[in-house]
Amino acid sequence: MEKNEHTDAKFEEQLKLFENMEVPYERTKKEVWEVMSKKMLAPPAKKIIPLNLTKWLAAAVIIIASTLGMMRFYTTTVYAVNGTHLACTLPDNSTVRLNAGSTISYAPYWWLFKRSVSLEGEAFFEVEKGSKFVVNSTFGYTEVLGTSFNIYARDTTYQVFCKTGRVGVHITASGQSIVLKPNEKVVLKNKALRKEIGTDGASSMGWIKDQFYFNNVNLVRVLEELERQYNVNISFDRTLIGENNYYTGLFAKEKNIQSVLEITAATFDLNLEKINKTTYNITPNY
């Protein structure tokens, strides 16, 4: 009702103006009124976007999509060569210490949207508090918010040790998940996660101080670790050497590689032959 009164008042105002206006001599008031009525009743003109503007908008969309794609899929890879340990800082100031022969990769320009790292090898993470932080490996993924932890992911071995905070470990194949608290460790064995409580972390994190702990570890894995830490080649028959040979002990990197290999060979009654400065051969003693 209010809308009709407002319209009528406006119409009367326009009519008064029309009655007082001077009409061009070539047209009557009736003719002018008809022209004005048509203009007042005509629908508003549609806005037409020029073709060039449409092209510019399409080009802008393509550029934005391409930029986002580059940000999402561009990755940085950090690799610690054999014989070295390497520390790096991630975009959010979280830090990673890589053990010898280990690699991480991440998307630096997408970090604001997703804190995610791929790991192959072994690394110790100290994560800044914030959104979910994920470490992916061939076995599954580990996720935290803000904590410190160590991951070992090589060949068929997968271990996670929680130093501070809480760590969620998830195995892709089985769908199994376990949450770790400080000084808890989980080991993947026979495709299942097994939690170890009350560990001191020395066996998991000793490598940061150049100390290497082995607890009933197959000799093949021990020799492979020595190759990485000392950047040498050790030739041996994996079937003969690895069969029923398990080692428990500690190596400190301050000892030279020849001394370490001599101790190892003597422990398992094996022959050690030095080929050159960086190459050794180990064979059964029979």
Q: 65 in a domain, yes or no?
A: no
pLDDT at residue 6, as a whole number: 52
Query: What are 112-124's pLDDT values in tens digits?
Result: 899 999 999 999 9
DSSP string over 39-73: HHHSPPPPP---HHHHHHHHHHHHHHHHHHHHHHH
The CATH number linked to 232 is 3.55.50.30
Q: 233 in a domain, yes or no?
A: yes
Query: What are 129-157's pLDDT values in tens digits?
Result: 989 999 999 999 999 988 999 999 998 88
Print the domain residue range for 143. Answer: 72-204
Query: What are 189-231's pLDDT values in tens digits?
Result: 888 899 988 777 778 899 999 999 998 899 999 999 999 999 9
Query: Does position 66 have pLDDT exceeding 90, yes or no?
Result: no
Judge if 121 and 160 occupy the same domain. yes
pLDDT at residue 43, as a whole number: 61
Judge if 221 and 255 occupy the same domain. yes
Judge if 109 and 190 occupy the same domain. yes
CA-to-CA distance for 238 and 4, rounded, in angstroms? 96
Q: 49 in a domain, yes or no?
A: no
Judge if 37 and 144 occupy the same domain. no
Q: 223 in a domain, yes or no?
A: yes
Q: Which of 204, 228, 258 is the last residue of a domain?
A: 204
Structurally, the chain folds into a number of domains equal to 3
Judge if 224 and 199 occupy the same domain. no
Q: 67 in a domain, yes or no?
A: no
Q: 15 in a domain, yes or no?
A: yes
Query: Does position 274 have pLDDT exceeding 90, yes or no?
Result: yes
Q: 47 in a domain, yes or no?
A: no
Judge if 271 and 149 occupy the same domain. no
CA-to-CA distance for 36 and 233, rounded, in angstroms? 98
Judge if 92 and 179 occupy the same domain. yes
Task: Tell me the pLDDT of the chain averaged across its residues.
Answer: 83
Q: 57 in a domain, yes or no?
A: no
Helix, strand, coil proportions of the chain in percent (round to 5)?
Answer: 35, 35, 30
- Who contacts 105 (Cβ-Cβ below 8 Å, separation ≥6)? 75, 76, 77, 78, 117, 118
Judge if 191 and 90 occupy the same domain. yes
pLDDT-derived band at 3 (thresholds 50, 70, 90) equals very low
pLDDT-derived band at 45 (thresholds 50, 70, 90) equals low
Judge if 196 and 235 occupy the same domain. no
Structure tokens at 115: 């804190």
pLDDT at residue 25, as a whole number: 47
Judge if 119 and 182 occupy the same domain. yes
Judge if 172 and 126 occupy the same domain. yes
Query: Does position 173 have pLDDT exceeding 80, yes or no?
Result: yes
pLDDT-derived band at 162 (thresholds 50, 70, 90) equals very high
With CA atoms as reference, report the closest residue to 261 among 216, 210, 225, 213: 225
pLDDT at residue 107, as a whole number: 94
